[in-house]
Chain A
Amino acid sequence: MTTSTTVLSPEMLEATEMLAGQLFHAEPIVHYNRAKARLDHDTEARELFARFVSAQADLRVRQSQNKVTQADVDHMRALQQEVQSKPIILAYAQAQQAAIAYLPEINREISQLLGIDFASLSGPGKC
C-alpha cells in the first residue's frame, strides 16, 4: 500500500514486512485463510453466509430502533439453522474466531516492549 511505504522509514517497513510474513505463517492465520479460501470457493455457502451477516446487521439496527418483529426473528432463526447445517461455514467462523483471539497475543508482545498499547495507536476498532 502506497500510504505505508511513504509513511514508514525503510527500517520500519522492513520490520513490519518481517512481522507480517511471520504472522502470515502463524498457525491460526494459516488455518483462517484456508477456511476462508474454502468458503470463497463454495458459491452457495458464501452467498448464504453473506445473507446471514447482512440479516444480522439489519436485525441489530432494527433492535436499536425497537422495530424487531416476530417475522424478523423467525427469518433470523431460519438463516441460523441453514448456516449451522453448513460445516464449511462453521469451520470458517471457528477459524476466524481463533485468528482474532490470537492477534492480541502479538499486540501484547509489541506493547510490553513499547510501554504503550500498540493497537490503540493503530486505528479505531471497527464493529
Chain B
Amino acid sequence: MDGPILNELELAPPEVVRQAARDFARVLAETTQFKAFVQANDRLNNDEQAQLVLEAFQAKQQSLRPMLMLNAASAEETAELERLRAAVLADPSVAAYLQAQQDLTAICHAAADLLSQNIGLDFASACSPCCC
C-alpha cells in the first residue's frame, strides 16, 4: 500500500523470530511453575480416585445442563451437583492441579502482557478464537 518501503535492515528475518519463540518456550519449560503443572497433570491423570470423582461431577453436570440453562433444576438436583463439585475441589490431586494451573497461568499471562505492550497488539486475543 502507500507509505515508504520497509527498510530490510529494520526487519527481523522470520526464522530469527521463530527461533526467539522457541528459545522463549525452552526457558518457560524450565520454570518451576511449568514443571509443577506437568507433574500435577500427570498425577491427576494417574489418580483413579480423582478420575472417578471428576467423572461423577461431569456426568451430573452434563445431565443437568439443559435444566440449569433454563434455571429449572430442582433444589435436590442442584444440591447434588454442588456436593459433587465440592468433592472434586476437595480431592488433593485436583487441588494440586488447579493450583499449578493458576501459577503457570500467572507467568504466561505476565509474559504475554509484555509481548503485547511491545508489539501494540493483544497477543492472547490474536491467538484465540474470537466471537467477532
Contact = CB atoms under 8 A, between A and B. Distances in A.
Interface of A: 1, 3-4, 7-9, 11-27, 29-36, 38, 87-88, 90-91, 94-96, 99-100, 103-107, 109-114, 118-127
A17 B106 CA distance: 17
A49 to B, nearest CB: 16
Given A30-B11, A119-B128, A127-B131, A100 B23 contact: no
B124 A125 contact: yes
Given A91-B1, A103-B123, A127-B132, A19 B107 contact: no
Nearest to A102: B126
22 contacts: A1-B117, A3-B110, A4-B114, A8-B114, A15-B24, A16-B114, A16-B115, A18-B24, A24-B119, A25-B17, A26-B17, A29-B121, A94-B1, A99-B121, A99-B126, A103-B121, A106-B18, A107-B127, A109-B22, A118-B127, A125-B130, A127-B132
Contacts of B20: 18-19, 21-23
A64 to B, nearest CB: 11
Interface size class of B (residues with CB under 8 A): 35 or more
A121 to B, nearest CB: 4
Nearest to B1: A91
Interface of B: 1-3, 6, 10-12, 14, 16-18, 20-31, 34, 104-115, 117-132
B17 A12 contact: no
A119 B110 contact: no
A94 B85 CA distance: 47
A110 B129 CA distance: 17
B25 A110 contact: yes
Interface centre among A24, A95, A99, A103 (most CB of B within 10 A): A103
A47 B34 CA distance: 44
A23 B119 contact: yes
A103 B126 contact: yes
B97 to A, nearest CB: 13
B121 A32 contact: yes
A113 B112 contact: no
A3 B113 contact: yes
A38 B110 CA distance: 30
